[in-house]
Structures are given as structure tokens and as C-alpha cells.
Amino acid sequence: MPLFPRSTYYTKDYRQSAALIRARQPFLIKNIFTGLGIASFVIGVYAFTISAVAQDDFSDVQIPDAVQQPPHTPHAGALKTPSEVSGRQ
């Protein structure tokens, strides 16, 4: 048994006690407005970002006809197995 009894605002089945509900009551409206303000800011930033990206014009970007491999990259057919590299068959 602990030396000091455990003090909590929750009941034994982890529900809010009446004291916790009374303690949170003055902050309920402020917390709701703060949450709405943060949510509206996030939605506004998201909407602005989507609209800014949608306005971007990629007509000045040249798209190559075919994908070209750099000359230093070996082709897939030129790969050798480890036995071919060591000289064993």
C-alpha cells in the first residue's frame, strides 16, 4: 500500500469525476474557439497551397521523348553472374 493515497480526478473505472467536470467548465468555450481557430488556419493553409500549385504552368518544361541512360550506366544485358566474373562455368 502506498504511503500517500493516490489523488485523481478520475473514478475507479477511469471516467471523469464531477470535480474534474467543474474544473474544466470555465475553459470549455475558450478551448472550443482555440480549436476552431487552429483548424481554420490549417484548412486555410492547405487550401492556399492547393490553389497555388494548381495555378502553376509547366508548359516551359521540356519533356524528353524517351528515357535515356547515361553512358556510364551498364545496360541490363551486360550484367554478368558471379560465376562469369570469376571465370568458372
- Does residue 63 register a pLDDT over 90? no
Over residues 4-26, the mean pLDDT reads 86
For the entire predicted model, the pTM comes to: 0.51
Q: How confident is the model at residue 1 (pLDDT cuts 50, 70, 90)?
A: low
What is the distance between the alpha carbons of residues 29 and 48, in angstroms, rounded to a whole number?
Answer: 28
Over residues 5-29, the mean pLDDT reads 88
Which single residue is written with the C-alpha cell 474534474? 20
Q: What is the pLDDT of residue 47?
A: 97
What is the distance between the alpha carbons of residues 48 and 53, in angstroms, rounded to a whole number?
Answer: 9
* Residue 62 backbone class (left: φ over 0; alpha: ψ -120 to 50; beta: rest): beta
DSSP string, 43-89: HHHHHHHHHHHHT---TTSPPPSS----TTSPPGGG---HHHHHT--
